[in-house]
Amino acid sequence: QVQFAESGGGSVQAGGYLRLSCEASGWRYSHYCMAWYRQAPGNQREAVAAFDNDNDAYYADGLQGRFTISLDYDKNTLYLEMLNVQVSDTAVYYCAAVEDTWCYPGEFQQAARFTYWGQGTQVTVSS
């Protein structure tokens, strides 16, 4: 059974730093796309970034440069580093994955493509 355990969320002041982690267990697929999504109150869930095991990374418009996605294969853990966080980054952050495919520009922003989801971790940024 595939399970994701997200951690690293919390409260931080604008301009600060956070690193989110998503540890996967029970994952047996040979190639895949993993992603971070977020959902702010009253908003739809939106893609933040994606990473596949062909080492390709993709970012939603405007986030590359502040956010960095990476994958530790030995630890089966997906990370999202968030620099210079802003109040608009406040949301619940979810990790997601889809098996037997790579990530593709545009497609990683379609939440329905992802098979597995974590429970989410809250990020709150104050001014």
Question: 42 pLDDT exceeds 90?
Answer: yes
Residues 6+ apart with CB under 8 A from 118: 4, 5, 6, 22, 94, 95, 96
What sign for the dihedral angle of Cα 125, 77, 71, 31? negative
Q: Can you tell me whether residue 56 is helix, strand or coil?
A: coil
44 falls in which pLDDT band (50, 70, 90)?
very high
Adjacent-strand bridge partners of 69: 80
Phi-psi region of 11 (alpha: psi -120 to 50; beta: other; left: phi over 0): beta
**Per-residue pLDDT tens over the stretch 58-106:** 999 999 999 999 999 999 999 999 999 999 999 999 999 999 889 998 8
